[in-house]
Amino acid sequence: MSKIAICIVSGGMDSALSVAIAKNEGYKLIGVHFNYKQRTEAKELECFRKITAHLGTIENYEIDLDFFAQIGASALTDKTIAVPTDGIGEGVPVTYVPFRNGIFLSIAAAIGEKHQAGALYIGVVEEDSSGYPDCRKDYIKMMEHAIDLGTRHETKFEIRMPLVAMKKSEIVAKALELGVPLEHTWSCYQSEQKACGVCDSCRLRLKGFLEAGVSDPIEYVTR
Amino acid sequence: MSKIAICIVSGGMDSALSVAIAKNEGYKLIGVHFNYKQRTEAKELECFRKITAHLGTIENYEIDLDFFAQIGASALTDKTIAVPTDGIGEGVPVTYVPFRNGIFLSIAAAIGEKHQAGALYIGVVEEDSSGYPDCRKDYIKMMEHAIDLGTRHETKFEIRMPLVAMKKSEIVAKALELGVPLEHTWSCYQSEQKACGVCDSCRLRLKGFLEAGVSDPIEYVTR
């Protein structure tokens, strides 16, 4: 079995933990990061570099996907659509970026085929989440089948999503246990300086730290 | 039912016919083209524009995917790997670009979700082909399921591949019947001036015209 794992790393807490889990399972790590014209692009890239340096990837891919701005249709990639700050509601929120993880997984699969990887790690969370359809376990499993059929016969890798059923508080605890540099992770949807604390992503992160009984090492805007 | 079809158009004969079929089936057409640092990028883009102007798309997306050069691992995107010219062999050839159609379909799906499309057309051919794994019917059907699960509940589109079981000669005949501007299509893997006539793609195209008893309107290098 190939001991190379392709790890999709956004710079957030969840994907950072998924890389640490891949490392813990004995894989050599290849980090893949996507710059997709999201609001906090520069900050997330900086975190990707720090996280992968800390956890020791053997190679990194920084992939520019400027076309996400051409497609837009999300508060993260179209600055004319405001990021909601009044709490997590019902349904798919306007921060959903159409089929983002499908695009990310397809590119990661191409990189995995090149390197004959044995696994592909993605830090999706279905439980404590914003309810994005491309973060669901059933979707990811179907995508694994599709990638298997659409690549060379000898290309075989499992898509691992170790966080999919974890609560945010469990993610915080596990990240601390595995030495994830949480001070170098970024979750805020809209700010690159101090985290806003009120977007859905900040709310989910803060809830995780609160429930885990640990304080978040990053700075937030004081309100 | 939505009457918008997202059409992936490379500038080749096959995808041009698939657009004409979508038009014939009554869809409003949105054309999507990918510049992926392939050897004949400029020529294919020129053909995309002519084909879509001729067939009358309501909107076009020209998507730059420079990262294909970072991944490489194919004779089409890595100029240090020669394009084979000695005839179609067994197995997956070096012109295969890892999971290219997976990446293309994922991006087209995001565009389809934005526009609430009812169908997505792709001109894959499984029969008279180079044997690329991402051109197989079984793969495309699985990808359709994956896209369905990974997008919003109300996003529903079929992936249509009207050419998948056609022979190249049937493609030529059907293209002539539907008024596809074959003089504005490009298939050669390596030349942007006169087609080489000897790469796998030229060989498949020429075989199609020969068997259809029609002469190809594009120019070839005289040997």
Q: Are strands B4-8 and B28-35 parallel, antiparallel or unpaired?
A: parallel
Q: Which domains does chain B have, with CATH numbers?
A: 4-212 (3.40.50.620)
A132 touches chain B (CB under 8 A): no
**Is the CB of residue A217 less than 8 Å away from at least one CB of chain B?**
no
**CB distance B21 to B121 below 8 Å:** yes
Q: What is the ipTM of this complex?
A: 0.97
Residue A1: which pLDDT band, with cuts at 50, 70 and 90?
A: low
Taking the C-alpha atoms of residue A117 and residue B189, their distance in angstroms, rounded to an integer, is: 28
Answer whether A210 touches B (CB < 8 Å): no
Interface check A102 vs B, CB under 8 A: yes
Contact B83, B190 (CB under 8 A): yes
Contact flag B98-A92 (C-beta cutoff 8 Å): no
Asked if B152 has any chain A CB less than 8 Å from its own CB, the reply is yes
Interface with chain B: mutation pick from A74, A99, A116, A156, highest number of B CBs within 10 Å: A99
Tokens 């469990």 belong to residue? A170
Report CB contact under 8 Å: A106, B105: yes
Q: Which chain A residues touch B99 with a CB distance below 8 Å?
A: 106, 109-110, 113, 147, 150-151
Q: Which of B66, B101, B149 sits opposite A150 (nearest CB)?
A: B101
* Structural tokens at position A221: 């805007």
How far apart, in whole angstroms, are the C-alpha atoms of residue A7 and residue A60?
9
Q: Report how far residue B106's alpha carbon sits from residue B122's, in angstroms, rounded to the nearest whole number.
A: 12
Q: Is the pLDDT of residue A176 over 80?
A: yes
Mapped onto helix, strand or coil, the DSSP state of residue A28 is strand
- The CA–CA distances, whole Å, from B66 to A66, A162, A187, B63 equal 10, 31, 27, 9
Which distant-in-sequence residues (6+ apart) come within 8 Å of B209 by Cβ? B169, B172, B215, B216
CB of A35 less than 8 A from some CB of B: no
Q: At what angle do helices A100-115 and A137-150 cross, to 10 degrees?
A: 40
Inform me whether the C-beta atom of residue B101 falls under 8 Å from chain A C-beta atoms.
Answer: yes
The whole-chain average pLDDT of chain A stands at 96
Q: Residue A173: exposed, middle, or buried by beta-carbon count in 10 A (0-12, 13-18, 19+)?
A: middle
Backbone angles phi, psi at A19, to 5 degrees: -65, -45
Chain-centre distance for alpha carbon B195: 17
- 3-state class percentages of chain B: helix first, strand second, coil last, to nearest 5: 40, 10, 45
B45: contact with A, CB 8 A cutoff: no
* Percent of chain A scoring above 70 in pLDDT: 99
Taking alpha carbons only, the member of A191, A204, A211, A197 closest to residue A88 is: A204
Q: Exposed e or buried b for every residue in A99-112, given b needs 16+ CB within 10 A?
A: bbbbbbbbbbbbbb
A80, A103, A118, B96, B139 from A114: Cα distances, Å: 38, 17, 11, 11, 19
Amino acid at B77: T
Q: What is the pLDDT of residues A45-102, one digit of tens each?
A: 999 999 999 999 999 999 999 999 999 999 999 999 999 999 999 999 999 999 999 9
What residues of chain A lie within 8 A of the CB of B108, using their CB? Answer: none
Coil, strand, or helix at residue A19?
helix
What does the block give as tokens for B166?
A: 């056609």
Q: Do A168 and A128 meet the contact criterion of CB atoms below 8 Å apart?
A: yes
β-partners of residue A73 are none
Closest partner residue to A149 (CB to CB) among B67, B71, B138 is B138
Indicate yes or no: pTM above 0.95: yes
Beta-carbon contacts of residue A53 (< 8 Å; ≥ 6 apart) = none
Upper half-sphere CA count for residue B143 (Cβ side, 13 Å) = 34
Instruction: Per-residue pLDDT tens, chain B, 223 aa: give them.
Output: 569 999 999 999 999 999 999 999 999 999 999 999 999 999 999 999 999 999 999 999 999 999 999 999 999 999 999 999 999 999 999 999 999 999 999 999 999 999 999 999 999 999 888 899 999 999 999 999 999 999 999 999 999 999 999 999 999 999 999 999 999 999 999 999 999 999 999 999 999 999 999 999 999 997 6
Minimum CA–CA partner of B116 in chain A = A98
Contact call for residues B155 and A138 (beta carbons, < 8 A): no
| CA–CA gap between residue A175 and residue B128 (Å, rounded) | 51
Residues of A in contact with B152 (CB under 8 A): 92, 96, 133
B111–A150 C-beta distance less than 8 A: no
Q: Using CB atoms, which residue from B97, B107, B151 is nearest to A133? A: B151
Residue B57: other Cβ atoms inside 10 A: 22
CB contact under 8 A, B109 and A92: no
Note whether B111 contacts A71, CB cutoff 8 Å: yes
Average pLDDT over residues A130-145: 96
Whole-number Å distance between alpha carbons of A36 and A70: 10
A52: left (phi over 0), alpha (psi -120 to 50) or beta: alpha
Q: Are B19 and B58 in contact (CB under 8 A)?
A: no
What pLDDT is recorded for position A128? 82
Cα distance between residue A147 and residue A142, in whole Å: 9
Of A133, A138, A150, the CB nearest to B99: A150
Residue B197 C-alpha, separation from nearest chain A C-alpha, in angstroms: 27
Candidate from B64, B103, B152 with C-beta closest to A107: B103
